[in-house]
Structures are given as C-alpha cells and as structure tokens.
Amino acid sequence: MKIFRWKFIVPTAIVIALVCGFFIFYLDIYLKKAFISAGELIFGAKVEVGSLKTKFKGLSVNVRDIKIGDKDNEFKNLADIDRVNFGVRFIPLLSMKFIIDDMTVDGIKWGTARETSCKLPPKKQKEAKPDEESFASKAVKEMKEKAVEEYNAFPSVRKFGTIQNQIKNFSPQSIIDMSGIQSVKEVQDSYVDLMGKYDSYNKKVNEFDVKSQIDGIAELADAISKTNLKTAADIQTLKDNLSKLSEERKNLEQTYADLKAVKDGLIKDAKEQQNAFKDISSLINKDVDSIASKLSVPSLDFKNITRMLFGDIWIQRTDKVLYYMSLIKKYMPEKKAEEENKPEPRERMKGREINYPVKNKLPKLWIANVKLSGTSGGEGKEGIPITFSGIAKNIASDQKLTGQKTTFEAKGDDTNQILTLSGSFDRVNDIAEDIISFTMEGMDAVRLGIPESDYTPSFEEAKAKIYAEFMMLGSDFITKAGIYIDGLQYDPESKDFQGVGPDLIKYVSMLWQGINSMNIEASMSIKDGDIKADFMSDIDKLLAQRFNNIINAAVGDVKVKIRKEVTQYVDSQKSVLQAEADKYNKQVQKELEPKLNDLQKKINEIKKVIADKENELKKSAASTISSILPIKK
C-alpha cells in the first residue's frame, strides 16, 4: 500500500501553485481594474487608483490615491482619497460574503483640481423609455429646467446703467416740446404782449403829424411877431391872434403830453417786463418736476438679488446632492414587499423543499465600522482648510439582516473653523429615509463660489456659516439651508468699471455702503413631480429701501440737468425776445424823440412870442392911457 497518492498530490499541488501564483501576481491587477470599472459605472466619470495591494495575512486590502472625477465638472474631482485600508473575514468569504469589521479611510478631500479631463469616452447606450426614466433623472431634469426658466429671467444690477444713460444722454428736447412747457410759454406770452404794446405805441406815434401841426402854428406865430401896434385896430388884431396862438399852444402841449405818455409807457413796460421774470424760477421748478415725471426710471425686484447671488450655486449643490443620494438609493434599494412575502413552495412529485429559518444570517456586504479623516482643502481650492475626522457604521447591502441603519458623522475644529457632517440611510423600515446634515462655521466665503461683479460686494475677506439638511423620504426630496456671511466689503476703487460715469459708481456705492453681512435661507421640495423653491434674505428689504433712496438721488441728478437745460433754454428765449423787443423799442424811441424835441422847442418859442407881444400890448396900453390923462403938477 502506497503512503502517498502521487496522482492526487501532484495535480493538487499544481492547481494550488497556480492559484497562489494568480493571487500573488495577478489578483491586485484584476481587483484594481474591477474597482475602477465599478467606480466609473457608478459615478459616470473617470476613476483613478494609484495602487491596490492585498495581503493574505488578515485578508487585508490597501488602496492608495483614489481620485473620482466629477461628471459635471471635468477638471474637478468629486472625491480625492489618499488611502483606504480594510480586512475581510475569511469564513463568510467562502460563501461570497464580504464582511468587514473595520475600515480606515484617510485623506478625504473633495472638489480638488485635475490636470486632465475626467470625461469617459462616449459609448452607445440603450435609450430609456419615458416610463423607465428614474426618479432621480426626472427630478434633476425638472429642477434644472425650472432653474433655467426662473433664474435666467432675473434682472441684473447693471440696470443702474439705465439711470446713468438717462443722465448722460438726457436732452429735454428729446422727450418734450420745449415750447409747450409753462416757463417757456410764459416767456413767449409775455414778450408777445410786450411787442403788442410796442406796436400800439408805434401806431400812436405815427398818428401824430407833429410837423404839420408845428408848421401851421409857426405861420401864426410869425405873423404875430411881425405885427406893429400903430392903431387901435392893430391892437385888437394882435389880441385876437394871441388868443388863437394860445389855443394852438395848448394843442401842441397836449400833443407833447400824449407823446410823453407814450415814452413813459415804453419805459414802464420795459421795466415791468424785467420784473416779471423774477419769479420765473417757480415756473421752472414746476416744469422740471413735470419733465422728470416722464422719465422711465428702472426698478429692481430686490427679492431676486439673493437668487441672483446664490440661486445658481444652490441649484448646483442641490442637484449634485440629489444625484448622489439617488445613487445611494439605487445601490441600497428598498426591499420590496413581495420579496419578503414569497409564496409557499409548491409540492413536487418527488419530495418537498423546506426552507428553515436561519438566525444571524449575514448580508452579502457589511462594513461594520469605518474610520474617516480628511481635510476641506486640496489642490486648486482657496481659503484656509480644516481637518476633520469621523466614523460611519453599518454599511450593509441588506439592513434588515443587521437590524441597523447606516449612520455617519464627522467633525473638524481648528478654533477658527468648525465642520460637522452627519446623516443616515435607513432601509430597515418599509419606506426608505435618507438624511444628510452639514454645518460649517468660519469658512472663507470665497469658497462658496459666489459670482462677483463690479456691482456686488467682495467676499474675499468675508467669513460664512452654513447649515444644510437634505432628506429623501421614499420618492420625496426635501432640503433646506441657511447661510450667514459676515465681513462683506464694497470698495469701488477696487472695481474695474469701464464705460460708465461717476454717477453710476456713486449709486452702486450708496447701495452697498454699510452692508457687511447677509443672512440667506433657502428651501426646496420635490413631491409628486412638483418642485417648489424659495429664497429669503434680510438683505432684500434693506436693498429695496436703499434703491429707493438711490432712485431719488438719481432723479435729483436728472432734475439738476433738466433745470440747467430748461433754464438755459428759457434764458436763450428771453435773450432772443428781449433783443427783438429792445430793437422795436429803439425804433419807436427813434420816431418819438425828434417829435418831442420839436414840440418842446416850438412850445417854448410860442411861449416867448406870446410873452413878448403881451408885454408890448401892456406898454402900448400904458402909453395910450398916459396920453389921454392930464399930467398933474
């Protein structure tokens, strides 16, 4: 009898050697490829693994330098992990069950920069029928469509430029007929009235034929001056002529008085015309208000400012969380009721299969404890990073076998920054419930990725406190978040304003001056395909109030320009009309003054003639009397 059965031992040894050789030389390679393929299938982006090493002692696995690409940003990593280490129980492994008591995940980072694209090469995929589209796909698609429809319609802060353009390009003539405004109409009506008076005076002056009147009285005066008193008849004739001359003199004096009244009227009306425009400023003010009321001043719904600043970021973050929570739901599905209540097996002709209850049955995958550590920093990320550590428990393919839900929590605290992450994935109950909560205090606000412009404050020196909760209950998705930012700064000198005037810069500075913090609350729910999103912020009301003040300041600036334009126009009208009036006045005066001078001269001559002849009559009378009366001795 042979002690060794070489026909059995030799083949067995060869098989064992081949298996050992495979495990030694090829297992790590195939495991690495399987790990990468599974990761790319799950995350839809490139997965890179630096190294994967297995050890028979303790059945341990050590994976280093894991980089999982972000399908939505090809040059970013969704996750960047330095090292993963765990050991697998041997006995359950014989039944193809992977039971891991302890796992360590070190150097967790996210959102780090990549040098190469993480896009996977395109491949032909089966087109999903409408009724086969997953809940996650529908929700994400509807959410993005709503975001595009709603947020793209928000007004831009550049609407301030409308005010700037109105001030810069404002011309009263372009929006209103200047001849129709009250102050200009008053000027025009006043000068029309004045010119009417001047025309009336001119007609009066021309109505007086002073030359004929003077020539007529000159003949009588000349005859009187040549009269010699020789007889009594001469005396009587002189008296009659003097009486006529006196009447004619009175007519000349009346004509002179009438013409002098015309001159006084010219002077009076010209003076009154000047005084009439001392109160024209009140009419100009009314016209300024009237024109300003016709300007179209832009308005901003400041409830949208919060959405403009945070809406897109919030949608992107929620989109990403919803997508990956849906992946978790896909790979940790709810156990259907029909699977739990399988029908009794039917009787067969040759015996019967009986299923006996098994206690302490293990799931196909169960990771009892996972120690976590990492940092919020990483390549290409701004701000001061914070390190954190935590633990995850009960990651199982079937939680009902373990009777426990998956939980995780992590915390980081470096005095200036505090990070807290916790959550759970519950498949123990009939309705799946997934919750993720996140809080971070003291983080650099620039890391939020809020878009900055010349019209919004700088977040470079600001700090942020964030809390967010995401919950998926069955097919319903509910999320809420709050952001408090402190340390905002708006420095117009640091902005790159181009093609705008100082007025616009002044308005934007007025809007943000003194605002160094903001508090934002956001919520979103997806229930039965209905998406509701809301944003609330303490800054909305404050900005609305300030914008009203800016509008008033802008309208004030517009009014200043309107007043300047209207005043210049009124003054130009006054100047033109006054020149015409003065010209007409001079023409009337030119006709009037010679007549007044001639009348005055002739009146004075006639007065002298009358006085001389009256003295001559008195002397003649005295001589006659003395010749009649006897002289007493």
The larger pLDDT score, comparing residue 411 to residue 381, is at 411
Q: Specify the pLDDT at position 553.
A: 67
Please say if the pLDDT value at position 47 is more than 90.
yes
Q: Specify the pLDDT at position 297.
A: 52
Please say if the pLDDT value at position 408 is more than 90.
yes
* Residue burial 516-553, b: 16+ Cβ < 10 Å; e: rest: eebebbbbbebeeeeeebebebebbebbeebbeebbee
Please say if the pLDDT value at position 23 is more than 60.
no
pLDDT grade for 370, boundaries at 50, 70 and 90: very high
Q: Are 273 and 134 in contact (CB under 8 A)?
A: no
pLDDT per position as a tens digit, 127-156:
544 444 444 455 555 555 554 444 444 344
The pTM assigned to this predicted structure is 0.59
Q: Are 194 and 578 in contact (CB under 8 A)?
A: no
Q: Specify the pLDDT at position 166.
A: 47
Please say if the pLDDT value at position 527 is more than 60.
yes
3-state SS class at 153: coil
Residue 266 CA to residue 272 CA, distance in Å, equals 10
Residue 508 CA to residue 158 CA, distance in Å, equals 10
Which of the residue ranges 70-79, 122-131, 480-489, 509-518 would you say has the lowest mean pLDDT? Answer: 122-131
Which of the residue ranges 294-308, 386-400, 432-446 would you say has the lowest mean pLDDT? Answer: 294-308
